[in-house]
């Protein structure tokens, strides 16, 4: 059996590695963005990668959730946590996008010395409506965050397919920078947000425990003002 401290340390190790990936990618973001926008991947491979984007899109997630609802009556009580985990990650990223503006690769001129980061939105936009301008919403990747969190939640429901779900999340990340919607570092930060969302709602936090009781059919009350840090849940399996 793995100890709680060891499990918690491993989770922060993953976040640390993703943060290192972000820092390594940042200096090469512009070069990589221009490379991927030149369509270097074979046509069929590129098509396959971009088809996986549904895994990080709200419509795709709702479609998968409804399919589970139809096929598995025993797992219907787990669907609120599944959807909450995925959508929380996406909402957090959207809030960051509206606060910190970064021009998307497809809209960037890549002029020498030009920064892709425009800074805090309320300091440079001419009007309130510009805060919602999609071309400024490169950082971070909400599709990646959503797909990572969704993969973690699905992996808890269907452990035998957990690695496949993570592969789909990785394909979503590749599709975002291959299509010029994001820089590579944006996808790393999105993965951090998605992983953190998954740890919070699937782990031993106040919200995670609330969902646990809900799934057992218990009468639950939840106060949004009571929040505890997530710790890893340990399940002892026989055999």
| Per-residue pLDDT, 223 | 56
203 three-state secondary structure: coil
Residue 191, pLDDT > 60, answer yes
pLDDT in tens, 14-65: 999 999 999 999 999 999 999 999 988 888 999 999 999 999 999 999 999 9
| Domain 4-215 belongs in CATH node 1.10.10 | no
pLDDT in tens, 194-212: 999 999 999 888 888 889 8
The C-alpha torsion from 81 through 86 and 91 to 97, rounded to 10°, is: 160
Tokens 């936009």: give the residue.
125
| Per-residue pLDDT, 142 | 97
CB atoms within 10 A of CB 193: 25
pTM: 0.88
Per cent of the chain over pLDDT 70 is 87
At 107, list the tokens: 């809209």
**Residue 202 half-sphere exposure toward CB, CA atoms < 13 A:** 27
Cα–Cα dist 174/176, whole Å? 5
Cα–Cα dist 102/165, whole Å? 29
pLDDT in tens, 60-90: 999 999 999 999 999 999 999 999 999 999 9
């Amino acid at each position: 059996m793995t100890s709680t401290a060891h499990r918690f340390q491993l989770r922060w190790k993953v976040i640390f590695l993703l943060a290192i990936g972000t820092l390594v990618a940042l200096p090469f973001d512009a070069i990589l963005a221009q490379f991927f926008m030149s369509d270097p991947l074979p046509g069929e491979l590129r098509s396959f990668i971009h088809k996986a984007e549904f895994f990080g899109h709200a419509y795709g997630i709702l479609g998968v959730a409804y399919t589970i609802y139809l096929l598995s009556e025993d797992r219907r009580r787990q669907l609120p946590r599944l959807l909450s985990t995925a959508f929380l990650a996406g909402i957090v990223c959207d809030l960051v996008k509206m606060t910190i503006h970064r021009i998307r690769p497809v809209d960037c001129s890549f002029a020498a010395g030009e920064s892709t980061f425009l800074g805090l939105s309320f300091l440079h936009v001419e009007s309130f409506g510009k805060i919602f301008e999609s071309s400024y919403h490169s950082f971070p990747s909400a599709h990646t965050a959503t797909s990572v969190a969704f993969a973690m939640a699905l992996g808890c429901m269907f452990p035998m397919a957990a690695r496949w779900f993570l592969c789909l999340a990785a394909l979503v990340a590749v599709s975002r920078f291959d299509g010029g919607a994001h820089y590579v570092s944006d996808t790393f930060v999105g993965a951090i947000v998605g992983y953190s969302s998954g740890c919070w709602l699937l782990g031993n936090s106040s919200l995670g425990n609330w969902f646990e009781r809900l799934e057992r059919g218990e009468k639950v009350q939840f106060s949004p003002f009571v929040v505890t840090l997530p710790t890893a849940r340990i399940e002892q399996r026989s055999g």
